[in-house]
Amino acid sequence: MHIGQFTVYCYTINGRTVTGVQTSTEVVAVDPQVIPLHTRIFIQGVGWRTALDTGGGIKGYKLDIWLPTLAECRATGVRRLEVFKLP
């Protein structure tokens, strides 16, 4: 099911998410009013992630994906990508 087009940002901070899990490439930060926490989503060009974090700047149709290095985040940049979830 298509959720919409989101602006996707990247972060490298290591630590625990708002749900208590370790940051990883399995995690995405969302606005829980748009995508509920614990929702499994598919991000075009990124792959499957689980909504397990939030962020102060993540409001509306924005996502924040975690990558292990700043170089990877810089290479990824900020992109507008389609997002889907299972029906």
Backbone angles phi, psi at 65, to 5 degrees: -95, 150
Which pLDDT tens digit goes with each residue over 32-43? 999 999 999 999
Residue 17 CB: number of other CB atoms within 10 A?
A: 20
Residue 80, pLDDT above cutoff 90: yes
Band of pLDDT at residue 52, cut at 50, 70 and 90: very high
- Residue 44 confidence class, pLDDT cut points 50, 70, 90: very high
Indicate the pLDDT class of residue 23, thresholds 50, 70 and 90.
very high
Q: Pull the structure tokens for residue 21.
A: 């899990």
CA-based max dimension of the chain: 35
Q: Which class in CATH covers the domain with range 2-85? A: mainly beta
